[in-house]
Structure 1
Amino acid sequence: MLLQRTLVVFLALTVYTSLCGYQRSIVHFDMKGAPPKVAYFKQLLTTMSGLGATGVLMEWEDMFPYQGDLNRIVNKNAYTEEEVISILEHAQQLELEVIPLVQTLAHMEWILKNEEYSHLREDERYPMVACIGDPSSLELILDSVNQLMQVHSKFNTRYIHIGADEAFQVGICEADRLILPVKYENDTLRMIFDHLKKVSINVTEEFPATKVLMWYDELKSAPLELIKEYSLDELVIPVVWKYTANLDNDLPPEMWKNMSYSFKEVWGGSAFKGADGASRYWNRLKPYILNNKEWYLQNEKYKSHFTTFDSIIITGWQRYDHFASLCELWPTSMVSLALNLIVLTKFHIDTASAEQVINAFNCPPSTTLDQLVAGTDKCRYPGYRARDAIRDYVQLKTFFENSTWVHNRENGWLQSSHMRLSASNPYYIDAIGKAYERTLKKMDTITNNMRTAFTEIFYPDVIEEFETDYITPFVEDLQKRKDAVANIDTKRSYGPRPWFRL
């Protein structure tokens, strides 16, 4: 509680009256995990528009209704083209800028995991990076870009994001090894830049009104002359991303200076969820507030280096990659989104801004900023039932984990050996058996509520995955211990030790 109050004071009392913040805040939708049903998707768009977001970055991944060869490997829950158009129309009605994101170098697991495309991996062991020395890779990538843009271009799409982050393996596949010495002087960065140039030119030629964004990973340390040689200074706009609380250390002045030598425009990239641990399912808020405050200050420090530095993408990752576990879902992260959108434009959370959030979230009039930060509010924003169910689980699990008297008795009288032998002193374990029973009964209610709430907003596989990873292990451990106590209680006598015999 003290930590929560400290955070509220930190949010509410810090005032920088001379600062002006970002003019354009783009909220990221990561559809490679827990993609929202169409109705919920539209509710989220409406809510974030009311919170001050100016646009959305849509990373469709395998949820886009690709046709042709790619159609065989899309998600079985993929949106139909009619549903995609309906979502885009809704965003347009809300006057939200819509930016599609399609990965064109790395994070291509959704394609490369499939056997029929495994030969296009940079490293045959890892389905992450495309073998860009193989012309078939470029053909496949351009097909995905063009299909996406054919739909998005109907809605005055001014930007497309081509990804290009975290290319951990390059120059390994046979096609790369053959072409590197012949065409690129054995310089993998030259090969990457040539690939990104081809992708970008494809966009600008096919869709002249659309500019190209890319993550800054391959640009941040690149020689200026190499960036210019491949015309990337004219073809792309870098998006500098970092999700930490010390950006002065992680994004040093020299990096910004070098970027300004090549690029007139740059965007920022912060986070409101999905960057605080690959398996974190409850949004802790504070790391994101700290990160977005840092991004506000980065803008103030370095915007004079560029002709334009007024846009930021506030990312909301749903998985760290295609194979990773689900992390903070939309329902648990709405308060984080709301408060961080304010931070990016004002730096501090004033009373008027807090009241706007409370109204937008359909909260009781008595709701306070403290309650929003602590997650104890009774607001009714889209997806709140799922948030409430996850919150109930977090609170129950935390209460049980903090029940020292239970764990003291477990440590003394219900270790693995006791359960294996069905031997212990009932005097000490009967009480904890009742604690298991009470907790399991509450878990039944929470799980039922969670399933109902998830069904309203997500596809069926989401609750199955969430339960499997985060609920079932806790429940199964409780059930195992409860059964062990019951087995021990059936015994009235024991033979002489040793009970473990060789």
Structure 2
Amino acid sequence: MSLSSMNAHKLVHLDLKGAAPRIEYLQVLFPFLKKFGATGLLVEYEDMFPYSGPLEELAQRYAYSKDNIGEFLQLAKDNCLTVIPLIQTFGHFEFVLKHEKFRSLCELEGYPSALCPSNPDSLTAISMIIDQVVDAHPAIQHLHIGGDEVYHLGVCDRCKKKMVMENLTVQQLFFSHVRAVCLYIKDKYPHLTIIMWDDMLRFLELPILAESGLGNLVEIMIWHYLPSFLLPPDIWDRFSKVFPNIWVASAFKGATGACMYATNIMYHIDNHLTWLSVLERVKSKFENIRGIAVTGWQRYDHYAVLCELLPQALPSLVTCLSVIYRGTFTADIHSHVTQQLKFQGLLPLNPFDGKDIPICDFPGSDIYTDTIELLRLESAYEDFLHSEGRLSWMNEYHMRRNFTNPMHLEALLAQAVRLLSGLKQLHKKFQTSLKAIYFPDTVDEWCSVYLNPKIEKMTDIVELARNQDRNSGLQT
């Protein structure tokens, strides 16, 4: 089954809570997305939105300006891409709760993941965020309110007291907050269709779901990123009786490990093929399957390190969009994507296989090839560090005591120097490729997390070994 045959939206998720691209990159990215069948963008601004007034401190140093948002929206319009902002309104609220001004809204003191639904100031803060985002997006028809992974709920004294006084379960406390957010939006912006994630609802029994009152307020977006589905088998029957219109969400990156930096495309192809099979089976249960959001997470939460960068994962994204559009994955589709991305040789579907660095040309392809080179260098680096020779004859303990055998050390040092030189050269290449697309904070974080520790480690080893050489009279 092809989602295109159902006239459903194909949304590309832009997770901007890490490695937000410069507007100049979006100028070449958006036409690319349109070319491969995308019809919209699910945009999670988080701290990249230009909040003002009482919310001013929520905007990070390199946040988009109001003019940038205008450019963003015009680019989307020019490429026939619907924009749906995603605003977290319950869990994943770290970018707000980390600030001293808003810490009193935490459900669990000292843990900024979720806000307290019983604190009246919580809805006030959310309302201000919603107002500013909606005001900056006058043409939108949909608003996503998040609502996923609320890990702390009903644990603070205020919530416990409310649950006792109003005879509420934890689930009903969740419903109460979501309803309050939705009713605020419905009252002030009646033209907006509200979307929320499904995971806080997916295991609830039908009577509880029906009594939640959410069926008339939201359309749920059911997310699942694994190739083999682990959703409750009766989820479609339960949801169809409460939510006549649904969305689904797959992933093209950012779903295989919080510090994974290279994308296994085949993993995500399998996820999409499974989704297409499931939707074909369950589509008759719903009035409408509105569309699919192809998510690309940039951090697992506000405090996690950056994972797979968007340009690096672009081959995965366009392959997944092609699978959605065609309803299958074939050798012809693989060949077509290869040609469109100008790969010399077939697009590798698993970057962990093979040793060659691919040659290709697409928006941000330098970051893609640099990442594959990093993958290869990291493998060589780990092999060297844990090799028997290095651990036996180039051990730091012995080198600090000038207790080494030149016969073995000389060859190991040459190997270490080559690795260090390769890492330093790759660092320079990343500096260039990243600066062309990203702001300085992203460049610094990426290099500091994924390159600098390896360079520092190899530098220490080389310097120790060279000191041995000088003391032993060897020439290096």
Query: Is 2:143 aligned against 1:167?
Result: no
**Cα offset, 1:162, TM superposition:** 0.3
2:380 to 393, 399, 409: 399
Residue 193 in structure 1 maps to residue 175 in structure 2:
yes
Q: CA deviation at 1:475?
A: 1.1
- Residue 279 of structure 1, CA deviation: 0.4
Correspondence list, 1:398-477, <5 A: 398-402=379-383, 407-477=387-457
- In structure 1, the residue matched to 2:288 is 308
Residue pairs, 1:474-485, within 5 angstroms:
474-485=454-465
Which residue number corresponds to residue 263 of structure 1?
243
TM-score w.r.t. the length of structure 1 is: 0.88
* CA distance in 1: counterparts of 2:259 and 2:402, whole angstroms: 34
Q: Could you give the per-residue CA deviations for residues 50-107 of structure 1, whole angstroms, max 9, x where no partner exists? A: 1111111000001001111111231111101110011011101111111000000000
Q: C-alpha displacement at 1:474, in angstroms?
A: 1.2
Whole-Å separation in 1 of the counterparts to 2:2 and 2:147: 37
Is 1:105 the counterpart of 2:85 in the alignment? no
Match of 2:48 in 1: 63
Quote the offset at 1:397 in angstroms: 2.5
* 1:155-197 per-position Cα deviation (integer Å, ceiling 9, x unaligned): 2x121100000001111223212212122x1412112111111
Question: Residues 442 and 96 of structure 1: is their aligned pair in 2 closer, same or farther, counting only changes over 3 Å?
Answer: same
Task: Quote the residue 1:327 is aligned against.
Answer: 307
**Structure 1, unaligned stretches of length 5 or more?**
1-15, 494-502
| 2:396/2:464 contact within 8 Å kept | no
| Aligned AA (1:198) | A
Change (3 A) 1:445 1:17: closer
C-alpha displacement at 1:403, in angstroms?
A: 5.6
Look up the equivalent residue of 2:117 and give its one-letter code.
I
SS state of the match for residue 267, structure 1?
Answer: strand
How far off its partner does 1:226 sit? 3.9
Post-superposition shift, 1:422?
2.7
Is the contact made by 2:402 and 2:468 (CA closer than 8 Å) also made in structure 1? yes
Q: Give the counterpart of 2:66 among 44, 60, 81.
A: 81
Find the aligned partners of 2:55 and 2:402 in 1 and give their Cα distance. Answer: 55
Mapped partners of 1:331, 1:338: distance in 2? 11
Do residues 382 (structure 1) and 363 (structure 2) align? yes
Correspondence for 2:328 among 348, 352, 359: 348
Summarize the Cα distance change of 1:438–1:492 in structure 2 as closer, same or farther, 3 Å threshold: closer
Higher helix share: 1
Structure 1 residues 358 and 284 mapped into 2: Cα distance closer, same or farther (>3 Å)? closer
- 1:240 and 1:268 in contact (8 A); partners too: yes
Using a 3 Å threshold, how does the CA distance of structure 1 residues 161 and 289 change in structure 2: closer, same or farther? same
Quote the residue 2:77 is aligned against: 92
State whether residues 265 and 349 of structure 2, in contact with CA within 8 Å, keep that contact through their aligned partners in structure 1.
no
Q: Is 1:357 matched up with 2:337?
A: yes
Question: Could you say which residue in structure 1 is the equivalent of 2:111?
Answer: 126
For 2:48, give the aligned amino acid.
Answer: M
**Counterpart amino acid of 1:368?**
L
Unpaired runs of 5+ in structure 2? none
Instruction: Specify the alignment match of 1:211 in structure 2.
Output: 193
Q: Which amino acid aligns with 1:177?
A: K
Mapped to 1, the partners of 2:222 and 2:145 lie a distance apart of: 14
User: Structure 1 residues 371, 231: CA separation in 2 closer, same or farther (over 3 Å shift)?
Assistant: closer
Question: What CA distance in whole angstroms lies between the structure 2 residues aligned with 1:75 and 1:141?
Answer: 18
Normalization by structure 2: what TM-score? 0.93
Deviation (angstroms), 1:229: 3.6
Q: Which runs of 4+ in 1 moved over 6 A?
A: 16-19, 371-375
**Paired AA for residue 487 in structure 1:** N
Kindly provide the amino acid, as one letter, of the partner of residue 204 in structure 2: A
Q: Does the 8 Å contact 2:252/2:317 carry over to 1?
A: yes
- The alignment's C-alpha RMSD in Å is 2.3
d(CA) in 1 for partners of 2:162, 2:340 = 56
Give the one of 201, 224, 233 matched to 2:206. 224
- Over residues 408-454 of structure 1, what are the superposed CA-to-partner deviations in whole Å (9 max), with x where a residue is unaligned? 21122122321332311011011111111122222222111110111
The answer as to 2:217 corresponding to 1:239 is no
| 8 Å CA contact retained: 1:47, 1:360 | no
1:291 pairs, out of 271, 277, 282, with 271
Aligned to 2:164: 181
Match of 1:254 in 2: 234
Output the amino acid matched with 2:102: Y
Distance 1:17 1:461, change over 3 A: closer
Shift of 1:21: 7.3
Change (3 A) 1:370 1:413: closer
Name the SS for the 2:288 alignment partner: coil
Does the CA-based 8 Å contact 2:3-2:325 persist in structure 1? Answer: no
> Amino acid of the residue matched to residue 324 of structure 2?
L
Further displaced range: 167-176 or 234-243 = 167-176
| Superposed displacement of residue 230, structure 1 | 4.2
Matches of 2:122 and 2:329 in 1, distance apart? Answer: 47
Equivalent position of 1:141 in the other structure: 126
Offset of residue 387 of structure 1: 1.8
Return the match for 2:10 from 19, 25, 38.
25
How many pairs were matched up? 470
